[in-house]
């Protein structure tokens, strides 16, 4: 019978807490012959479940060509690979270029989703991105840096929606984030959560406002590995969801 299993598994390890990896992701790490993980962002504990004879390699200093060569060597010898990424592989995970090379070489692969840092940060800060009648949309974005951002996706233009925002990969320029948010129309007193190294032992969760964001980030000596959650409506009088209202009927509950 033909083997239908994939050769490569892209696995989202979550933002830092080793227990936030999925059961499925952990299973494929346990079975893999080669475990490639980004040690600068994925704690070693997340791959500690690898089998005794597995090759476990920190890919932080490696190039795309080097990791692909190691993958090819493993696959051609009959092995499987767990490629472990921080957060969720589909978001700022640089998996597309890896997939292109795998497609070129006719190597099968599968993607196992993970918890992205914005959701782990929301949980740690105990907030909801969506609020009835206040915010029903979440935008995930970043400032331009060494990786450019299309003009149509500038933070100031996205900010015009005035809804919840998760700003990734921008901790090195908090002044730029503030400038863009205000230019887009957010008020200075809009709440912001600064979440640094969520799930790691040195995690920090700072609640502030747009006007005080730069001071908070610089005061905590944060330069990277942080996400900013911009949260309009959080301090308004709450509006309760109708989902659990006695006047709201649905397929599982009828109104008397």
Distances (CA, A) of 200 to 15, 40, 55, 123, 197: 8, 12, 25, 14, 6
| Residue 10 to residue 91: CA distance in whole angstroms | 12
Q: What is the pLDDT of residue 1?
A: 32
User: pLDDT tens-digit profile of 96-120?
Assistant: 999 999 999 999 999 999 999 999 9
**Helix (H) or strand (E) run with residue 195 in it:** strand 191-196
Per-residue pLDDT for 246 more than 90?
no
Q: Cβ(41)–Cβ(89) under 8 Å?
A: no
Per-residue pLDDT for 8 more than 60?
yes
Q: What is the pLDDT of residue 42?
A: 95
Could you give all domains of the chain from N- to C-terminal order, each with its CATH number?
8-112 (3.40.1010.10), 117-230 (3.30.950.10)
Query: 48 pLDDT band (50/70/90 cuts)?
Result: very high
Distances (CA, A) of 238 to 128, 135, 227: 12, 12, 25
Per-residue pLDDT for 5 more than 90?
no
**Mean pLDDT of the residues in the chain:** 91
Return phi, psi of residue 115, to 5°.
-85, 120
| Residue 50 to residue 52: CA distance in whole angstroms | 7
User: pLDDT tens-digit profile of 109-161?
Assistant: 999 999 999 999 999 999 999 988 788 999 999 998 888 899 999 999 999 99
Sign of the dihedral defined by the CA atoms of residues 175, 181, 187, 192, in that order? negative
């Amino acid at each position: 019978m033909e083997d239908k299993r994939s050769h490569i598994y892209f696995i989202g390890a979550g933002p830092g807490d080793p227990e936030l990896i999925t059961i499925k992701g952990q299973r494929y790490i346990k079975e893999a012959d080669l475990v490639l993980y980004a040690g600068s962002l994925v704690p070693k504990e997340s791959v500690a479940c690898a089998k005794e004879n597995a090759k476990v390699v920190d890919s932080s200093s490696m190039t795309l060509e080097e990791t692909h060569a190691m993958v090819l060597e493993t696959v051609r010898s009959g092995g499987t690979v767990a490629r472990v990424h921080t957060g969720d592989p589909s978001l700022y995970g640089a998996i597309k270029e890896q997939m292109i090379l795998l497609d070129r070489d006719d190597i099968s692969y599968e993607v196992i989703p993970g918890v992205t840092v914005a959701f782990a940060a929301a949980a740690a800060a105990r907030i909801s991105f969506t609020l009835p009648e206040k915010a029903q949309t979440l935008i995930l974005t970043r400032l331009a840096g060494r990786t450019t951002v299309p003009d149509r996706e500038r933070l100031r233009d996205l900010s015009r929606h005035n809804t919840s925002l998760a700003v990734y990969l921008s901790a090195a320029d908090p002044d730029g984030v503030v400038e863009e948010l205000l230019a887009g129309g957010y008020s200075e007193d809009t709440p912001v959560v600064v979440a640094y190294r969520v799930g790691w032992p040195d995690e920090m969760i700072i609640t502030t406002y747009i006007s005080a964001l730069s001071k908070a980030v610089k005061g905590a000596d944060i330069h990277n590995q942080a996400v900013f959650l911009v949260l309009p409506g959080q301090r308004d009088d709450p509006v309760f969801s109708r989902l659990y209202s006695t006047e709201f009927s649905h397929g599982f509950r009828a109104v008397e």
